[in-house]
Amino acid sequence: MGPACALALRALEPAGPYVAGDVLRNGPSQTEGLLRRAGLSPRQTLLPVSWILSSPAGLASSGLVETCDAVPCDLASQAVAWLCSPEPGSSLLEVGQGRGTKTILLQSAAAQRGGTARVSAVEVDQAKVRLARSRMERAGLSDVTRCVCWDGRELDGESLPSALSGEFDRVFVDAPCSGTGTMRRHPETAWALEPASVRDALPAMQLAILSSAAARVRVGGTLCYATCSLLKEEDEAVVDAFLSGNGAGFSPVDPRTLGGYGSLPTGARQLVDAMATDDATIRTARADSEGLPLDGHFLAAFRRVR
């Protein structure tokens, strides 16, 4: 069976009904109690403050998503957020915030490691920025998170909003992509993609965002590049183009050398190890199985050396 056939077959399988908790609102036992009382039959996953729901039908009507007591997101997305989570008290720039799900995951992971970080988050869609700001308030993060409407391709200029100026300890790029790693949740993806987009337009935009965001990393700081794509054109090819161009001052590092990995329990580290590639990147689909359904995310990390 070739890779294209395997991809098509995986896309037909049901997605895992995972949720994460927000420790800024509740401790793990409190969150699990809320999920149980809502009749969702939660089972703890290998990651901290994370559950898979055996009876997920009532999640939307439970009110737990609206209050940010439960954050629906695939286990693969949670793993990426843990690996990229900022050090407590440090500064992080998130590029491609969307509606703020990863922001909550990043800050919750940081809080479990000792405290929240100072996060500035960029999103080009004003409607999503408004939603993200509302979620930050409900999640208890509005005091430590600034949501800014800005084009991620224009972070290397001089005239930036104050929340985006200066340099950051870590920059996390959650790049817009084809979404081929999430077709279990979004089967329409297969019909919406054009070959030219995957071959040319998307990689060009991803490289532009990564190159621009790199300008905001302090010397000695780290840059993380993530997609929910399974395609090398959007992942390894973008990384190679970055390192041979505007990323000449960066050195690739294994995402497992970042602080988040060392804070994980043994079972979670073993899960992440199963996702690791020989090229020191993360492909979550490597750990995908019938008993542990995972979306396909890609993660590469770099350290600024000059």
- d(CA 75, CA 10) in angstroms, rounded, equals 16
Max CA-CA distance within the chain?
53
Q: Per the structure block, which two tokens stand in for 199? A: 């071959």
Which of 55, 54, 109, 43 is CA-nearest to residue 77?
109
Q: Per the structure block, which two tokens stand in for 153? A: 């391709």
Active site residues: 228
Quick one: angle between helices 75-84 and 266-275, nearest 10?
Answer: 100
Q: Per the structure block, which two tokens stand in for 161? A: 């909003």
For residue 203, the one-letter residue type is P
Known binding residues for S-adenosyl-L-methionine are 123, 151, 174
Which of 108, 85, 145 is CA-nearest to residue 28?
108
Helix (H/G/I), strand (E/B), else coil: 156? coil
